[in-house]
Structure 1
Amino acid sequence: MIRISLFVLCAFWTFAHIKVEQARFRPFQISITGQAELCPIILEDLELSGVFKSAQPSSAEAQIEISSDPQSIRVKAQNKLFRYQSPASRQLAHRIASDLYKLFTGEPAFFNSKIVASNEKKQIILLDFDGENPKPITTHPSINILPIFSPNGQEIAFTSYARNNPDLYSIRTDRSHLRILSNRPGINSGASFSPNEQEIATTLSYEGKSDIYLMDTQGQNLRKLTSGFSINTSPSFSPDGKQIAFVSNRSGNPQIYTMHQDGSHIKRITWQGKYNQSPKWSPLGDQIVFTGRDEQKNFDVFLVNVQSGRVTRVTQDQGRNDEASFAPNGRMLVFASTRNGGRDLFISNLDGTFQKQITRGVQYWTPSWGPNL
């Protein structure tokens, strides 16, 4: 394959073919011509990755040609020909964009993934990664919050007040098999599936205060992981399943900690700021995204390197930004922001130099980005 140089300086991440080094990264210029129904969606997908930008064919660094007949759709790029079965559809456009992304970068994309969030009516909503095709998952007239995907993307755990208590539920993305995971007295919330889908870490308070527990996917075989006088919440499994990130006020203020999957080797990860919450572990394993409150009491999105403790600020001076979640390839984030007056969903690259609004008109909370389907 052809190696493409992009005139960049400071290393941040490196693709196999396009080197995306973010401090001075210039998006790769592409042109897409041909099939009128598919081209705009494919181009929008690629631009939403922050890696590509539309250009005229005469100035593009790569040209993509799309043609079709009643039986097939053909995509030509970098002297490679892809064939797809007709008819054209939005989902097919996402698939084509994913193949092109991998062709140019050597890495998997996220265009076939979904995002789940709680809306202003406190219902759980499933959306395409670009904010399109919102579909209700819950319809019960109660508070439904804190959704999270299972690793295979087929199941969503969430907290509901359907029985006048914050209980933990699970439902499939096709809205079937609604079941209670935990309805113990007090709080049942903040779930995180283990990568092998055998266990769920969650926050329970039935013993008097909030602590982190492990249970199986039927809500049984409970094991308590944290103890003492502090409040411990918001567990998030590492991608290898060996560690769990969580929030604790054991140092006096909410901070991000990690521990081994059995509750041992507790380690404080964040040392900057007095109020840090909502950790989510990167699929790549190297970073944890969290919401932090700065000196001006503004809430923003931050990243912390698990090994070095180095913190990167993703958002700043644009309203409240919180509850971030990683894309399945670990290269992008989704989060909620009030910068335009409501609570919209935005996606961003990891240093915040590319941010794009993907929802309008509906307010959303606590988005969770699922795997590629």
Structure 2
Amino acid sequence: MQMSSPGLSLRIGILACFLWLTGTSAHAALDIEIFGGGATQIPVAIVPFAAEERLEQGVTPIVAADLQRSGLFKLVDPAGHAPHEPVEVVYPDWSARGTSALVIGSTTLVPGGQVAVRMTLLDVARQTQLASYAETVSIGQIRAASHRIADLVYEKLTGDAGVFSTRIAYVVKEGKKYSLQVADADGFNAQPVIEYTEPIISPTWSPDGRQLAYVSFENKKPVVYVQTLATRTRKAVANFRGSNSAPAWSPDGRRLAVVLSLMGGSQIFLINADGTGLQRLTQSSGIDTEPSFSPDGQSLIFTSDRGGSPQIYRVRIGGQASATAERLTFEGTYNVSPEFSPDGRSFTYIHRNGDRFNVAIQDLATGQVRLLTDSRFDESPSFAPNGKIILYATEIRGRGILSAVSSDGRVKQQLSTQAGDVREPAWGPLPGAR
């Protein structure tokens, strides 16, 4: 049985390739457009860092862009006020501007092409210091240092981990070339991981962020590869007879769930990360595909049509293949592409809503479903590692782009290149994960 619909593809059998049109530069940044904002935005003033005008790239605009992109902050114009040390801050002036938090700092050139970056985050109402940051980096690492500052500000003001220092992976179609690319979360520093004239799909990050698993059709059939990003070395870990697709990493990074047609039909198997130790997990008369591990590694959610239409199911990971699994979705006749939230309390997926295919989120405890988007053809939702944002692919005016939506649906972003189609997004882990 084949499950298909406009704009969506389940990674099963000989997968249908996306009809992608034109391309984009491998190093181009993604343009980001923000819509909406949080219910209550925190007013933050960011004073331009001292001496950053001497740098090719300043710290202040990067930190400001990161915070604004989250939709949780309202940026207050410093309007000529330029304190760079806590003793220089006149708190009543900032209170009068409606400022809740103040970011001040400096950059100092040091020998060897290095820059000393310092930042202090202040609570205006309490007139206290919330956090400080100091690091010496190369000039080329200013952007990375700025993201770390934004992460610290975000964490101290919201209580959640910031994700501005993370990376994303996605696939770009340029002419007849498919390129798997990795970029910073804000779209900068895009680099190709691998390029072929055959489709590349389903990238997924290892828990430590050092490797990507993906499916390549370079040998005229779907094969699962694992590639180490630092060395660019790679290995085919699932190249069995028939189709090999839809890899998903276990939380400990030791195993992958993959979808194979090795024994007839598309079913979910577990293998070690080096391709050994094949073990069948599901056994049904339908198509089981698109697995996603729970954060504790004890279960998988996946897409299956075993009940007659594609729905999301959950199965415990045990020693024997089983035809039984718990059905999780009951609203509508088409629910696909599930991914667990980082806290394991919910999952995101694609839900058919009339003639639209939208990103949804469902609470596991209550079964409550919330639609987060209202576009026509959304696909491949991927949680940010803090669970607050979902990255997905969509289609605007016939062209594939990436978009993001907050897990409460209030903040939406469109991430696009100047030309070409971008698909198959996957959000990487927090730096230093595991």
TM-score (norm 1): 0.89
Residue 360 of structure 1 deviates from its aligned partner by 2.2
Shift, 1:232, TM fit: 0.5
Change (3 A) 1:24 1:199: closer
Decide which of 42, 52, 63 is 1:28's aligned counterpart: 42
The corresponding residue for 2:151 is 98
Deviation at 1:97, TM superposition (A): 0.7
The answer to whether structure 1 residue 269 and structure 2 residue 356 are counterparts is no
Query: Structure 1, residues 123-157: CA drift from partner, whole Å, max 9, x if none?
Result: 21111111222111112332211110011110000
2:411 equivalent in structure 1: 354
Q: Which amino acid in 2 is paired with 1:83? A: A
Aligned pairs for 1:335-346 (under 5 A) are 335-339=392-396, 341-346=398-403
Q: Deviations over 1:287-339 (max 9, x none)?
A: 111011112x21110011112211110101x3322211000111111111213
Contact 1:122–1:145 at 8 Å: present in 2 too?
no
Cα separation, 1, equivalents of 2:289 and 2:189: 32
CA RMSD of aligned residues (A): 1.8
**Which residue matches 2:358?**
300
- Residue among 325, 331, 351 paired with 2:388: 331
Unaligned runs of 5+ in 2: 1-35, 53-57, 79-96, 111-115, 123-128
Conserved 8 A contact 1:343-1:365: yes
**C-alpha displacement of 1:23:** 10
Q: 3-state SS of the aligned residue for 2:410?
A: coil
Where relative contact order (Cα < 8 A, 6+ residues apart) is larger, the structure is 2
The equivalent residue for 2:119 is 75
Query: What is the aligned length?
Result: 350
Q: Does 1:289 align with 2:340?
A: no
For 1:369, the aligned partner's letter is W
Deviation at 1:86, TM superposition (A): 4.3
Residue 340 of structure 1, CA deviation: 5.1
Identity, % of aligned positions? 30
Q: Larger deviation: 332-341 or 322-331?
A: 332-341
Aligned counterpart, 2:161: 108
Residue 202 of structure 2: aligned partner = 146
* 2:221 alignment partner in structure 1: 165
Counterpart-to-counterpart distance in 1, 2:190 and 2:138: 23
Conserved 8 A contact 2:37-2:411: no
Partner of residue 373, structure 2? 315
Opposite residue 92 of structure 1, the aligned amino acid is A
Following superposition, the deviation at residue 87 of structure 1 comes to 4.5
Identify the residue that residue 238 of structure 2 maps to in structure 1: 182
Name the SS for the 1:137 alignment partner.
Answer: strand
Give the drift of 1:228. Answer: 2.5
CA offset digits 1:257-316 (Å, max 9, x no partner) = 011112566111110111111111111111111011112x21110011112211110101
Contact 2:256 2:273 in 1 (8 A): yes
Q: How does 1:215-226 map to 2 (within 5 A)?
A: 215-226=271-282
Report the counterpart of residue 33 of structure 2 in structure 1. Answer: none
Q: What is the letter of the counterpart of residue 402 of structure 2?
A: L
Answer whether contact 2:178 2:195 (CA < 8 A) is retained. no
How does 1:80-91 map onto structure 2 within 5 Å? 80-87=131-138, 89-91=142-144
Q: 1:251 to 1:132 in 2, by over 3 A?
A: same
Range 243-252 or range 132-141, more displaced? 132-141
Shift of 1:102: 1.6
Residue pair 2:38, 2:72 contacting (<8 A) in 1 also: no
Q: Does 1:252 align with 2:308?
A: yes
- 131, 154, 161: which one pairs with 2:187? 131
For residue 68 of structure 1, report the CA deviation from its aligned partner: 2.0
Q: Mean Cα displacement is larger for which, 280-289 or 120-129?
A: 120-129
Map of 1:367 onto structure 2: 425
**Shift, 1:54, TM fit:** 1.2
Check the 8 A contact 1:301/1:314 in 2, yes or no: yes
Q: Secondary structure at the match of 2:196?
A: coil
Q: Which runs of 4+ in 1 moved over 4 A?
A: none
Secondary structure at the counterpart of residue 208 of structure 1: coil
Provide the rounded CA distance (Å) in 1 between the counterparts of 2:410 and 2:153: 23
CA distance in 2, matches of 1:68, 1:118: 36
SS of equivalent to 2:396: coil
- Distance between the aligned counterparts of 1:326 and 1:228, measured in 2? 28
Normalising by structure 2, we get a TM-score of 0.77
How far did 1:364 drift?
1.5
Which residue matches 2:102?
63
Q: Within 1, Cα distance between the matches of 2:196 and 2:393?
A: 23
